[in-house]
Structure 1
Amino acid sequence: MTPESHSLTDTDDPSAAPPPGCPAHDLGPGGLRRLYGPAAEDLGAVYEKLRAEHGPVAPALLHGDLPIWVVLGHSENMHMVSTPSHFCRDTRLWTPMRDGTAKPDNPLMPHLAWQPLCSHAEGDEHQRLRGAVSGAMATIDYRAIRRHINRATQHLVNKFCEEGRADLVSQFAERLPMLVLCEIFGMPEEYNDRLVEAARDLPKGTATALASNAYIMDVLMRLTVRRRAEPRDDFTSHLINHQARLTDEEVAQHLRLVLIVAAESCANLLANVLRVVLTDPGFRAQLNGGQMTVPEAVEQTLWDEPPFSTIIAYFAKQDTELAGQRIRQGDGLLLGIAPGNVDPRVRPDLKANMQGNRSHLAFSGGPHECPGQDIGRAIADVGVDALLNRVPDIQLACDEHELRWRETISNRHLVELPVKFAPSPRQEVTLSASAESVPSQRSGAQAAEQPRSAVPHPVDTLGASPSPSLSPSPSAPEETGRGGVFHRLLRWLVGK
């Protein structure tokens, strides 16, 4: 049955809002469901109510009762992100931004305020900025990075292995991504607790978010100036020297974008994978028995518990229709990653194993598909594998129902993941130093044509499919996983 068509601009009657304290306070003007306040405690349930009431595209309200469409269907989300002629990421097109109803103090303004970044740009400017980021990423030596992830994991485990107890969120999941990103950026000396805390604080819109942003931008601007003067073989230098000729400000802003998004998403992904391993005996048995490799476990988690629940937002460039709903020019639409991943038309049985299926929405799609998804997969694959090999008897140190979550419209992540295991001695680990200076550098395009590694690098192009090149290499013994060398060698050969 076709859902009843709604117009977001017809639901602004303030008299329709319930009084404070009313049980129906999760409903706003026009009876639309709010995606904030009490409703935010279980947005998954709200999305299912919206799906039942309206179908795969539903009207709702953001903070400040700003109207938004929530795209709940898998195919509808894919259509939206893959049709730049109708939908884009330029927040300046959103009607509430144009008419002033989106106030400067709205807590979502860090997501909504337009910035000269590839994530907000369209057309030629998007290709220029995105091309620089993806070109720099094409120069990354993924074999070397996987080895660094392994070493960084051992370094972190050394900090708690003698205690026999740890919190895998604060002591591992939040720290491993930053250690890796600092190495990729060419600033391992900048890694510290403050950088980790600032990167997690910035996206939350807290009272200290501005100070966190200032600290991160200071670090990245200093790095940009250093690498402009003394280039090295790192991501930052290749971004600076790309033929797109980014300014220092553009370089630092895109470094911040990659840093914040990667740190947040990888931390959530690591915590989610480890939680399932620790709480689902069947899941862990498959890993131990070789029926599932760690990369396959990561993909299953990307279906069930994606690092980002939604992405704010896409905007209609013209009047159109989506799943029977009338979308007006200037309307905003949430990319519904989590609800799209559980669309009953795609997953009628949510308990079914999605092994080998990468069609989830965790990394978006179309022109704005995540360019760093293979780095995220590598951090999760190698990090989880190395941790489980180092402490194979690791167990959850509390009852599963005691685990606490913090949920926002963007994501849902564990507050902590307490574990226990038999104490063990530290192991000698040396984190690699940053790369030496190089007299001249290839452009991102040249690097894409002539990768430095024997394993082909994923070259980010508009709408490109993810490369399978980050499958664990059979020639690297420290990357061997719990799924068994034979299974990985077979998968690698088949991929060839």
Structure 2
Amino acid sequence: MNDSTDNSLQAVRGCPVAHHGADPTRLYGPEAATDPAGIYERLRKEHGSVAPVLLEGDVPAWLVLGYRDNRRVLDNPRQFSRDARIWRDWREGRIEETSPIMPMVGWRPDCVSQDGEPHRRLRGAVTDGLQAAATRGIRRHVTYFANKQIDAFADAGRADLVADYAEQLPMLVLTRMLGLPAADGQRLIESCAEVFKGGEGALEHNDRIMQILAELAERKRAEPGSDFATALLEHPAGLDHDEVVSHLRLVLIAAHTTTSNLLARVLQRVLTDSARLSGLVSGELNISSVVEEVMWDTPPLSVLPGRFATADLELGGHHVQEGELLILGLAAGNLDPEVRPDSAVAVQGNQSHLAFSSGPHECPGQNIGQSIIEIGVGVLLLRLPDLRLAVPPEELGSTASTWESRLDSLPVEFAVQVHN
């Protein structure tokens, strides 16, 4: 490490990276975009189950790679808080509010940013609202929008199931569930993607999302409906305006990004394995078992932000200081050789993956997401039973950010549908 690099790192603080006397690994940039799994494997060999990394803007963090260490962090909020207000780098002025990682890591008035009683109060409102939405015909909505999306390309005999289906279907369902006009969906798809991607546009797109959702909250305050926004506004927990808008944002971004990514990966798994595809079409194979495999092998979020050490402690053989940022390697943890020595071994029936997080902050909307995926795949195969890949499987590529790895496209062909 040269003097200028060393000085810049020390200026960031006695940061995790500086403890190791080696150039830090960046979880952003060209290598991270094309080979995140290679980075995780290298970090595991060099550092063990926890590794020092740099996030966008060279923000220092600890990446948790081991399955058991991920569980320890996720299940122990007293040691590893979700409250970013204790983040030392931010508290001491080294992280700007304009940093592109703030939409993912920074504090906001939602249940994900709180622990203890504040978390229970807000999460209760979210859980009740999602439960109410799930009982108001979520399966009917998914079936309707799945057919509508398929209608848009059924006459063409070909489609890109990422751009034309997996990216669209979850947002169509979510706009209906939240109480948004369908016309807002396309703008929100783009903005959700940009927030996860990071970079210069992340803050601008986060502001766009907040504006659309603030307008939604005001409309629903004046004209209540049978939707998630109204459920938050009317909940006995008494959420204020900022809390309502922040939870609309939380559900929108988390649900769309994870569900669209997982739907694309499930379709990829099905279409690159003829035995699975024929089993699903014939009804001999249950789609839920394929979803489970994908959640183990390619979880929709590769890395989960973030936790903050509430005191100095040891984790994975490393000394973590109070207030330091930890990010959870869900993809790396699911493939940890200590718990999965042979990643080729079937995992059907084993739901102990990290895909939905764990502990008090475990995803409250996972059943809705799984319904969207299972119904979306089922309707697609029913409508297009001769569906097949239009390119060799090895030509399918992915692009990663710090937080996720998304399938670029999934081109398919099928017989043109004849309408009666």
TM-score (norm 2): 0.91
Equivalent pair of 1:12/1:29 in contact (CA under 8 Å) = no
In 2, distance between residues paired with 1:219 and 1:262?
17
For residues 296 and 167 of structure 1, what CA distance do their matches in structure 2 show?
24
Q: What is the match of residue 109 of structure 1? A: 102
Relative to structure 1, the CA distance from residue 129 to residue 426 in structure 2 (aligned partners, 3 Å threshold; closer, same or farther) is farther
Q: How does 1:216-231 map to 2 (within 5 A)?
A: 216-231=209-224
Report if the CA contact (8 A) 2:396-2:410 is conserved.
yes
CA shift for structure 1 position 240: 0.9
How far apart are the structure 1 equivalents of 2:97 and 2:260?
29
Specify which of 48, 56, 78 is matched with residue 41 of structure 2: 48
1:153 to 146, 149, 170: 146
- Return the letter of the residue paired with 1:173: A
In 1: Cα distance, 2:190 partner to 2:53 partner: 32
Q: Distance in 1 between matches of 2:309 and 2:52?
A: 14
1:155, distance to aligned residue in structure 2 (A): 0.4
Following superposition, the deviation at residue 208 of structure 1 comes to 4.2
Which amino acid is 1:174 matched to?
E
Show the counterpart of 2:156. Answer: 163
Query: Would you say 1:358 and 2:314 are equivalent positions?
Result: no
- Verify: 1:315 aligned to 2:308, yes or no: yes
CA distance in 1, matches of 2:107, 2:229: 24
Q: Distance in 1 between matches of 2:405 and 2:360?
A: 25
Instruction: State how far apart, in whole Å, the 1-side matches of 2:96 and 2:90 are.
Output: 8
CA contact (8 A) 1:13 1:29 kept: no
Structure 1 range deviating more: 357-366 or 395-404 = 395-404
Matched, 1:213 2:206: yes
Query: Equivalent residue for 2:334?
Result: 341
Question: Could you say what secondary structure the match of 2:62 adopts?
Answer: strand
Matched-pair contact (CA < 8 Å) for 1:16–1:29:
no
Partner of 2:250: 257
Letter in 1 for 2:338: R
User: Aligned ranges for residues 106-185 of structure 1 at < 5 Å?
Assistant: 106-142=99-135, 144-185=137-178
Q: Distance between the aligned counterparts of 2:408 and 2:303, measured in 1?
A: 19
Pair 1:14 & 2:5 matched: yes
What's 2:12 paired with? none
Q: Is the 8 A contact 1:179 1:188 kept in 2?
A: no
- The one-letter amino acid of 1:408's match is S
Residues 167-208 of structure 1, C-alpha deviations (whole Å, 9 max, x = no match): 111110111001111121123544543333233333323544
Label 1:63 to 1:215 Cα distance change in 2 as closer, same or farther (>3 A).
closer
1:62 aligns with 2:20: no
Query: 1:289: Cα distance to partner?
Result: 5.2
1:411 and 2:411 are equivalent in the alignment = no
The range that moved more, 117-126 or 182-191, is: 182-191
- The one-letter amino acid of 2:5's match is P
Structure 2, unaligned runs of 5 or more = 10-17
String of CA shifts for 1:130-188, please: whole Å, max 9, x gaps. 12111211223447211211111000000000000111111101110011111211235
Q: Counterpart of 1:294 in structure 2: which amino acid?
A: I
SS in 1 for 2:95: coil
CA deviation string 1:331-389 (max 9, x = no partner): 21111100001011221111111111111101101111111111111111110111111
- AA matched with 1:169: V
Distance, in Å, in 2 between the alignment partners of 1:205 and 1:426 is 43
From 297, 309, 322, give the equivalent of 1:304: 297
2: CA distance, partners of 1:64 / 1:13: 16
Tell me the distance in 2 between the aligned counterparts of 1:132 and 1:213: 23
Match for residue 365 of structure 2?
Answer: 372
* Residues 356, 362 of structure 2: 8 Å contact kept: yes
Match of 2:27 in 1: 35
C-alpha spacing 1:232/1:265, structure 2 compared with 1 (3 Å): same
CA 1:282 to 1:349, structure 2 compared with 1: closer, same or farther past 3 Å?
Answer: farther
Deviation of residue 276 (structure 1)?
Answer: 1.0
Q: Using a 3 Å threshold, how does the CA distance of structure 1 residues 214 and 70 change in structure 2: closer, same or farther?
A: closer
- SS class of match (2:212): helix
CA distance in 2, matches of 1:249, 1:142: 26
SS of residue paired to 2:236: coil
Deviations 1:188-230 (A, max 9, x none): 5445433332333333235444443344333322221222223
Q: Which residue number in structure 1 is paired with residue 234 of structure 2?
A: 241
SS of corresponding position for 1:64 = coil
Q: How many Å separate the matches in 1 of 2:47 and 2:194?
A: 35
Match of 1:93 among 63, 83, 86: 86
Do the aligned partners of 1:13 and 1:30 also contact (CA within 8 Å) in 2? no
1:223-271 deviation line (CA, Å, top 9, x unaligned): 2122222322222111111111111222122101111111111110111
Q: How many aligned residue pairs are there?
A: 410
Q: Match for 1:50: what amino acid?
A: L
Deviating more after overlay: 368-377 vs 57-66: 57-66
Amino acid across the alignment from 2:29: G
- TM-score, scaled relative to structure 1: 0.77
CA distance in 1, matches of 2:417, 2:223: 42
RMSD of Structure 2 on Structure 1 (CA): 2.5
**Closer, same or farther in 2 for the Cα pair 1:347/1:122, shift >3 Å?**
same
Output the CA distance in 2 between the equivalents of 1:334 and 1:425: 50
User: 1:325 and 1:285 mapped to 2: Cα distance?
Assistant: 48
The 1:118/1:82 distance shift into structure 2, 3 A limit, reads same
Counterpart Cα distance in 2 of 1:291 and 1:138: 31
Residues 185 and 235 in structure 1, CA contact (< 8 A), matched pair in contact too: yes
Which structure has more helix as a fraction of its residues? 2
Task: Tell me if structure 2 keeps the 8 A contact 1:278–1:395.
Answer: yes
Aligned equivalent of 1:486:
none
Give secondary structure in 1 for the equivalent of 2:113.
coil
Which residue is equivalent to 2:14?
Answer: none
Give percent identity, aligned residues only: 44
Q: State the distance in 1 between where 2:336 and 2:40 align.
A: 10
Aligned to 2:13: none
CA distance in 1, matches of 2:29, 2:213: 35
Larger Rg: 1
The separation in 1 between residues aligned to 2:111 and 2:356, in whole angstroms, is 16
- Which digits, 9 at most, give the CA deviation of each residue in 1:382-436, with x for residues without a partner? 1011111110111111122222211111000012111111010358xxxxxxxxx
2:192 counterpart letter in structure 1:
A
Larger CA deviation: 267-276 vs 208-217? 208-217
CA distance, structure 1, for counterparts of residue 208 and residue 232 of structure 2: 21
Structure 1 residue 14, shift from structure 2 partner: 2.3
